[in-house]
Amino acid sequence: MRQLYEKEHLIMRLFDAFAKPRKDEQLEIYFQWAENVGTSRLEKTVNWAIAHEERFPTISRLNGIVKAQKKVVSEQYRDECYFCGSTGVVPVLHEPDLVSGVYHIRMMSCKCSLGLTAGVPPYFKKFPTLQFSVIGNFSGNYPQYVDSLKRDKNEALRGDDTYIEK
Ligand SMILES: [Zn+2]
């Protein structure tokens, strides 16, 4: 019930912000529309409408705002740093050595802003380009690519494709 109350409150705020008379039948249409929108998304949409719209928004206009906001979120996601996956560190694949008998990964800091605080040596000083050139059809980011290389190489090393990473 509390959630419903919050949504109704937001819709009434929208009406008030545009000095729209709160007629029951119109409120009801907007309440019904709001039922299918998440509370936090509704709040963002109402705030956005109040800040940017010149006129009281129709339902179709509100749907447009909801859609535009979803797009903003997915674009932010796409802004993830490709080299480090927005972790600040880039993986370096090492061959089996005295420390580890399998292919293993050590991290170095990325050149993006997150890498500045990583506290490990900078990757792109060691590798002017990336350690591996990524095969074109690989869909993930660079750390995911290195991880998949590591798994493949270790499987080959063991000559056993049931190898499970520990
Ligand atoms: Zn980065």
The pLDDT value given to residue 135: 82
Alpha carbon distance 164, 40 (integer Å): 41
Cα of 90 vs centre of ligand 1, distance in Å, is 7
Helices (H), the chain: 2-17, 24-35, 39-52, 59-78, 123-126, 142-158
Q: Are residues 6 and 44 in the same domain?
A: yes
Q: Where does a domain end: 59, 78, 97?
A: 78
Cα of 135 vs centre of ligand 1, distance in Å, is 20
* 11 falls within a domain: yes
Q: Are residues 7 and 73 in the same domain?
A: yes
Cα of 113 vs centre of ligand 1, distance in Å, is 7
Residues β-bridged to residue 90: 108
Cα of 141 vs centre of ligand 1, distance in Å, is 11
The count of residues in the chain is 166
Q: Can you point out the beta strands (E) in 81-124?
A: 89-94, 104-109
Domain containing 45 equals: 2-78
Alpha carbon distance 52, 89 (integer Å): 39
Q: Are residues 105 and 62 in the same domain?
A: no
Q: Are residues 10 and 74 in the same domain?
A: yes
* 123 falls within a domain: yes
- Structural domains of the chain, count: 2
Q: Where does a domain end: 12, 44, 78?
A: 78
Q: Are residues 93 and 130 in the same domain?
A: yes
Give, for all 166 residues of the chain, the pLDDT tens digit.
Answer: 455 589 999 999 999 999 999 999 999 999 999 999 998 899 999 999 999 999 999 999 999 999 887 776 665 555 789 999 989 999 999 999 998 999 999 999 999 988 887 788 999 999 988 999 988 788 889 999 999 999 999 999 887 655 555 5
